Amino acid sequence: MAKQPQLHSRIKQDIVDKIESGYYPSGSLLPTESEFCKMYDVSRTTLRTALNHLLMEGAIYRKQGKGTFVAKGKVKQILSSSNLRYADQLKAQGIKPKIKVVDLQKLKPSKKIQNRLGIDGEQMVYQVKRIRYADEEEIQFETAFIRADLVPEITEEMANISLYQCINSQGNTIKRTEEQIKIFISDEEIAQHLNITQGTPCFQIATQTFLASEEVVEFSLAYFRGDRVEFFIERDYEERGGMKDEIFDHKRR
């Protein structure tokens, strides 16, 4: 006899079915916990287990003081080589982009940032903190550190458009980047800027930006809402001469 799914799993699936059918439209406010408990005749513990699973899967999200909402379609972030700026990537998906600079200052960086930029403690950097929006919703918070000796001027207007354009416009040529991605538990600052609950998991991308001279001009830490962003990687094997058969040759000998 087939084992019946647990009650919280059945509740979760029923909510998913209603989201997919359009009964709960994208971006709509869901019933309160009390309303759901009455609807399914279950305890808050059982109901919260079902909702927490949906939260972890990104099907729903919470706004402090406002309630629980059906998640919109996720924003696609391209990680493979692309000449498209982030704003252009959003526009291509029919999404309105916006950048807000929340902090811009010139300072002496910490030892960690010095090491990432390959500079000593006497050199100054620009620290730029920005929030990126998709259709007026916070999806990314970024802190960038840019060498002031290589980029003498950064204004809020420049930072609101493109930091890479700002770097290249001052006699530099960006050649490549190295990026590391990991899961990060949001702290108070990140949660505040992304409008999420502190402790919510998000994606962290650490990026080093190299010039044609191989100097590191910028180091940044970007935090993406896990419930609103998905990453897309495309690999073009034709550009590298196609898939090689050498690794299989020993099996045919």
Are residues 203 and 226 in contact, defined by beta-carbon separation less than 8 angstroms? yes
Residues 145 and 23 grouped into a single domain = no
pLDDT for the residue numbered 74: 67
Residues 61 and 96 grouped into a single domain = no
Please report whether residue 163 resides in a domain. yes
What pTM does this model have?
A: 0.69
Domain count, the chain: 2
Single out the residue in 70, 97, 116 at which a domain terminates: 70
What angle is formed at CA 221 by the lines to CA 79 and CA 109, rounded to 5 degrees?
145
Burial of residue 7 (number of CB atoms within 10 Å: 0-12, 13-18, 19+): middle
Please report whether residue 245 resides in a domain. no
pLDDT for the residue numbered 133: 93
Please report whether residue 152 resides in a domain. yes
Residues 39 and 143 grouped into a single domain = no
Residues 32 and 93 grouped into a single domain = no
Residues 19 and 117 grouped into a single domain = no
Residue 88's nearest CA partner among 29, 161, 177, 19 is 161
Residues 55 and 145 grouped into a single domain = no
Residues 137 and 41 grouped into a single domain = no
Single out the residue in 49, 70, 91 at which a domain terminates: 70
Residues 44 and 149 grouped into a single domain = no
Please report whether residue 250 resides in a domain. no
Give the DSSP letter string of 33-66: HHHHHHHHT--HHHHHHHHHHHHHHTSEEEETTT
Range of the domain at 196: 75-232
Please report whether residue 55 resides in a domain. yes
* Residues ≥6 apart with Cβ < 8 Å to 30: 15, 24, 36, 60, 67, 68, 69, 70
Please report whether residue 30 resides in a domain. yes
pLDDT in single tens digits along all 253 residues of the chain: 445 578 999 999 999 999 988 899 988 999 999 999 999 999 999 999 999 999 887 788 888 889 999 987 666 665 655 555 777 777 877 878 899 999 999 999 999 999 999 999 889 999 999 999 988 889 999 999 999 999 999 999 999 999 999 999 999 999 999 999 999 999 999 999 999 989 988 999 999 999 999 999 999 999 999 878 877 777 766 655 554 544 444 443 4
